[in-house]
Structure 1
Amino acid sequence: MASELKNLSVFSTENLPDISEKHFAILVAEWNSEVTNALFNGAYQTLVNYGANEEFIHVRTVPGSYELSFGAALAAQASHIDAVICLGCVIQGETKHNDYINHAVAQGLTNVSIQYNKPVIFGVLTPNNQQQALDRAGGVHGNKGDEAAITAIKMLGVSF
């Protein structure tokens, strides 16, 4: 089904782990702040709604989405941080800058997650325009910040 026809923030909340003692780092890109602040509000509220202690939610800003990888590495290396949620928005423009940034951020966050053996969540919107971004940051398609927080919670419950 095409995304324009549904809310994309529908997810299962069955069997979530207890997160009352878990520490979360949320990194928020300042660029496209109207969008990223909405993503942050969704992520923060979702963590609290599912049992996170507000004192254990550590929030930092970075200039833009490209800087999320370095910020995530700083957060992940902190022994008390259990999961890192990275929130940003790179809107397609007239050049291919978005392709380079999005690829670099996705690869960078994956590398940080593997290096530090912690969930590092990609909560970066990659829309074609501002309206698509707003639609996915608390608009008609839900809030990707909510999804990023639920993903972090679920990943803390993965074990073998």
Structure 2
Amino acid sequence: MATRLKNLSDFSHTTVPDGSAYRFAIAVAEWNAEITGSLYQGAVDTLLKHGVRESNIRSVAVPGSFELSSAADLLLQKHNDLDAVICLGCVIQGDTRHFDFICDAVAQGVTNVSIKHSKPVIFGVLTTNDQQQAADRAGGRHGNKGDEAAITALKMAALAASL
């Protein structure tokens, strides 16, 4: 399915659980702040829309996407009552292989933290070729990856609670 043809933040085809019983943390990267700020706002708005109380959303900022895994690990170590952690960041392709190393490290790190703590840790990191692609996915024509990460967190928290 071609992303260019679709708003990815349309959830009309699925049921989203009520979030009033859950507690979430959001770790957001400060690098590419214009983009990550939009992702963050989308995630918070979506959680609130689906019943999560504002007092049940904890937020932390980290310097860049690379630090998201460490932040998620610290949050889960210090706050046993969390049902999921949402990691939000943006890595834009540059002229060097730095992009590849960072994207791979963040994806692996988020996965490892989730497995370590047996809690959902959501990968809400944009990995785009340019600034326009990032803007298109941070509230632009392709929706907001922050919304998608929040919906994923709600669904995974509900799954964990049901098991």
TM-score higher than 0.5 = yes
Taking the TM superposition and a 5 Å limit, the aligned residue runs for 1:52-67 are 52-67=52-67
State which drifts further: 58-67 or 21-30. Answer: 21-30
Unpaired runs of 5+ in structure 1? none
Distance 1:125 1:76 in 2: 23
Q: Secondary structure at 1:126's aligned position in 2?
A: strand
Query: TM-score scaled to structure 1, two decimals?
Result: 0.95
Contact kept in structure 1, 2:39 and 2:146, CA below 8 Å? yes
2:22 partner amino acid: K
User: Alpha-carbon deviation of 1:21?
Assistant: 2.6
- Paired residue for 1:142? 143
Moved over 6 A (4+): none
SS of the residue 1:95 aligns to = coil
Q: Is 1:103 the equivalent of 2:95?
A: no
Please give the residue correspondences for 1:56-95 in structure 2 after superposition, counting only pairs within 5 Å: 56-77=56-77, 78-95=79-96
Identity %: 63
- The amino acid that maps onto 1:40 is Y
Count the aligned residue pairs: 159
What is residue 44 of structure 1 aligned with on the other side?
A: 44
Task: Give the secondary structure class of the aligned counterpart of 1:84.
Answer: strand
When normalised by structure 2's length, the TM-score is 0.94
Structure 1 residue identity aligned to 2:105:
A
SS of corresponding position for 1:22: coil
Which amino acid counterpart does residue 142 of structure 1 have in structure 2?
Answer: G
Task: Give the drift of 1:18.
Answer: 3.2
Taking only aligned residues, the RMSD between alpha carbons, in angstroms, comes to 1.1
